[in-house]
């Protein structure tokens, strides 16, 4: 409970910074809303007593007061709803913006790869609902507290034992609510992984990216079975949770029902003996509903608020996520042109015990186009990611003009490089936005390149403004067309270093040769190309051959063929395929 209260206070402070005046107005109006039922009950008591004693003279005034209080209640609710809706919208927008900005601030790729990150991030969906849920729950808590205290004060003249007895009878409900709050948080934690698996399997069944193979290879049955298994597990846990919750609520409510029953019998006896008026009995009968409801919602507050608090707990964890890159406080701004990139005994592993690079050393000089070749898993793509500083080496150094890359401002460094990735993204945006997201490049800059056939753009409705992908009703492209846009994206961005990782997997062989030829002819200050197709790298200034995370050979194409080593074996195996 202590940690829950601390989290509640922290969440209130967080929301208070979004719009303090609106939140203040919400609390004032909520207090008035909570007090009005007691005012209405007192007026109704006076009306009943007036009628019972035959004093009709003051009745119109009392009725007018009752009508005014009712109108005030509805008026307050209307104004409160308007302010509340505006506050929730503003707070939700601000919270979502914080999440986006935090995501953009994380520079290391490891941040986005851990299961812990996905567990947190998956809980940050439906921000609007969670913010609204928390604010409404807390508003109801405050309203019910005011209502509880005001009706408590009304009960006191009837006998101090009445509100005290009801309050004591609520203790089991408080215990039950505390247990249910703990159960709710434990339940959400326990089903998080299963929920994510169920969502993955469900989406994989209907995803355009997988539907073809689902149909051909029968993945649909496997995925749907996995989804049903996950859903069965979720149902089982939900039923177990709801059973425990219902039992706790039943025990807590039973004591209150018994207490109210005894009190009603006692008050009826006092009316019969003339000790209290009919109006006072009517006051109790009206008040007990408000009092009981307010008390019930007070004791159940934690049960209702637990899921919302869990959301904010995950939100605060996400906002506190530390970058996996160590970013220097006084980062170096690299002056002048990039003359040299040097790997010095660099080692790296994605997971402990599975080295991707082992003591790699090489140098790229300005004006050179370097090709990285080797079998799958040799470490080629890892080198590209390290130069882009998506990761930092586990040991060794990457030097740029003699300066450790870790000491250079990462944003300014990435502004000077461009890349074409093998697993390129397909953005469901316009053609122009896919190629130049900042809008600085004109259409002619990216689809009038002679070596890259982008003529298909002319056939799209709206050409460069055409929306791509089916997500928002746009045009779907072929794999090769998407890849050409990814190549154009890499070439259009101003850069000194160009990193190219298997750029032509979906492009036909004739255009592939043209693309590689152009990349070597129109090369950046430094170019690094990764490929399996060795026939395309003959014109590289220097070739690095990797095997098992190590550089086993390096040199020009003719030199490596003449050496008769690993490169020649790879080259001959591919040349044989073309000769058959």
Q: What is the 3-state secondary structure (H, E, C) of 22-60?
A: HHHHHHHHHHHHHHHHHHHHHHHHHHHHHHHCCCCCCHH
Termini Cα distance of the chain: 74
| Higher-confidence position of 185 and 390 | 390
Side-chain-side CA neighbours of residue 23 (13 Å) = 17
Q: Which two tokens stand for residue 350?
A: 């994605």
- Domain ranges (residues) in the chain: 2-191+240-319, 340-579
pLDDT tens-digit series, residues 545-577: 999 999 999 988 888 888 888 888 888 877 655
| Higher-confidence position of 138 and 155 | 138
| Distance of alpha carbon 41 from alpha carbon 290, whole angstroms | 10
Mapped onto helix, strand or coil, the DSSP state of residue 369 is: strand
In eight-state DSSP terms, residue 430 is B
Residues near 530 by beta carbon (within 8 Å), at least 6 away in sequence: 371, 372, 373, 380, 381, 383, 384, 422, 500, 501, 502
For residue 159, is pLDDT > 70? no
Among residues 314, 320, 317, 319, the alpha carbon closest in space to that of 99 is found at 319
For residue 4, is pLDDT > 50? yes
| Higher-confidence position of 356 and 223 | 356
Q: Which of 230-239, 277-286, 386-395 has the highest average model confidence (pLDDT)?
A: 386-395
Give the per-residue pLDDT at 280: 65
Give the per-residue pLDDT at 521: 65
Among residues 173, 187, 140, the alpha carbon closest in space to that of 310 is found at 187
Give the per-residue pLDDT at 580: 42
Specify whether the CB–CB gap between 156 and 163 falls below 8 A.
yes
For residue 445, is pLDDT > 60? no
Q: Which range is least confidently modeled, 156-170, 337-351, 444-458, 558-572?
A: 444-458
| Distance of alpha carbon 568 from alpha carbon 561, whole angstroms | 5
Mapped onto helix, strand or coil, the DSSP state of residue 451 is: coil
Radius of gyration of the chain, Cα coordinates, nearest whole angstrom: 35
Side-chain-side CA neighbours of residue 160 (13 Å) = 0
> 355 — phi, psi (to 5°)?
-70, 135
| Higher-confidence position of 579 and 424 | 424
For residue 461, is pLDDT > 80? yes
| Distance of alpha carbon 314 from alpha carbon 320, whole angstroms | 10
pTM of the prediction? 0.73
Among residues 292, 30, 313, the alpha carbon closest in space to that of 173 is found at 292
For residue 2, is pLDDT > 70? no
Specify whether the CB–CB gap between 334 and 416 falls below 8 A.
yes
Among residues 138, 44, 122, the alpha carbon closest in space to that of 88 is found at 138
Residues near 241 by beta carbon (within 8 Å), at least 6 away in sequence: 183, 184, 187
Chain mean position to CA 349: 27
Specify whether the CB–CB gap between 435 and 485 falls below 8 A.
yes
Which pLDDT band holds residue 389 (cuts at 50, 70, 90)? very high
| Higher-confidence position of 289 and 111 | 111
**Domain spanning 2-191+240-319: which CATH class is it, in words?**
mainly alpha
Q: Which range is least confidently modeled, 108-117, 370-379, 480-489?
A: 108-117
| Distance of alpha carbon 539 from alpha carbon 550, whole angstroms | 23
340-579 has which CATH code?
A: 3.40.50.300
pLDDT tens-digit series, residues 76-100: 888 888 888 888 888 888 888 888 8
Which pLDDT band holds residue 32 (cuts at 50, 70, 90)? confident
């Amino acid at each position: 409970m202590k940690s829950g209260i601390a989290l509640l206070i922290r969440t209130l402070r967080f929301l208070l910074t979004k719009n303090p005046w609106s939140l203040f107005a919400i609390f004032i109006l909520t207090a008035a809303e909570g007090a009005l039922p007691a005012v209405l009950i007192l007026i109704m008591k006076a009306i009943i007593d007036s009628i019972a004693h035959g004093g009709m003279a003051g009745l119109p005034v009392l009725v007018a007061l009752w009508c005014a209080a009712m109108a005030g209640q509805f008026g307050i609710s209307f104004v409160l709803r308007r302010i509340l809706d505006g506050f929730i919208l503003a707070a939700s927008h601000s919270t979502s913006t914080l999440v986006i900005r935090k995501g953009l601030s994380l520079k290391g790729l490891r941040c986005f790869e851990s299961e812990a990150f996905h567990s947190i991030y998956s809980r940050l969906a439906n921000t609007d609902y969670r913010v609204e849920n928390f604010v409404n729950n807390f508003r109801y808590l405050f309203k019910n507290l005011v209502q509880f205290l005001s009706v408590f004060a009304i009960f006191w003249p009837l006998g101090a034992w009445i509100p005290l007895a009801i309050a004591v009878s609520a203790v089991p409900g408080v215990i039950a609510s505390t247990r249910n709050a703990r159960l709710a948080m434990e339940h959400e934690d326990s089903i998080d992984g299963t929920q994510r698996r169920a969502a993955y399997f469900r989406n994989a069944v209907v995803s355009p990216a997988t539907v073809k193979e689902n149909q051909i290879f029968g993945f649909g049955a496997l995925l749907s079975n996995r989804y049903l298994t996950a859903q069965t597990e979720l149902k089982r846990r939900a039923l177990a949770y709801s059973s425990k919750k219902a039992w706790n609520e039943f025990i807590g409510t039973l004591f209150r029902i018994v207490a109210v029953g005894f009190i009603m019998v006692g008050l009826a006896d006092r009316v019969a003996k003339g000790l209290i008026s009919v109006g006072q009995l009517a006051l109790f009968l009206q008040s007990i509903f408000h009092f009981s409801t307010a008390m019930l919602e007070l004791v159940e507050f934690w049960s209702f608020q637990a899921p919302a608090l869990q959301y904010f707990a995950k939100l605060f964890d996400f906002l506190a996520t530390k970058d996996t890159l160590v970013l220097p406080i006084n980062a170096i701004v690299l002056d002048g042109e990039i003359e040299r990139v040097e790997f010095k005994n660099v080692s790296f592993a994605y997971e402990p015990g599975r080295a991707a690079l082992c003591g790699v050393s090489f140098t790229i000089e300005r004006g050179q186009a370097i090709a990285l070749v080797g079998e799958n898993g040799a470490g080629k793509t890892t080198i590209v990611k390290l130069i882009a500083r998506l990761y930092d080496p586990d040991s060794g150094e990457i030097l740029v003009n003699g300066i450790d890359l870790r000491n250079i401002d990462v944003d300014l460094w990435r502004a000077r490089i461009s890349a074409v990735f093998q697993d390129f993204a397909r953005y469901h945006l316009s053609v122009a936005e896919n190629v130049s997201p900042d809008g600085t490049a004109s259409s002619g800059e990216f689809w009038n390149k002679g070596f890259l056939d982008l003529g298909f753009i002319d056939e799209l409705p709206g050409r460069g403004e055409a929306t791509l992908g089916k997500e928002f009703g746009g045009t779907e492209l072929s794999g090769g067309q998407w890849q050409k846009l990814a190549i154009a994206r890499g070439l259009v961005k101003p850069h000194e270093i160009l990193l190219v990782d298997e750029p032509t997997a979906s492009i036909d062989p004739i255009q592939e040769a043209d693309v590689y030829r152009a990349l070597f002819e129109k090369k950046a200050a430094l170019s690094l190309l990764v490929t399996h197709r060795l026939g395309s790298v003959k014109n590289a200034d220097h070739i690095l051959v990797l095997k098992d995370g190590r550089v086993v050979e390096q040199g020009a194409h003719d030199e490596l063929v003449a050496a008769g080593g690993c490169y020649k074996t790879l080259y001959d195996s591919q040349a044989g395929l073309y000769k058959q």
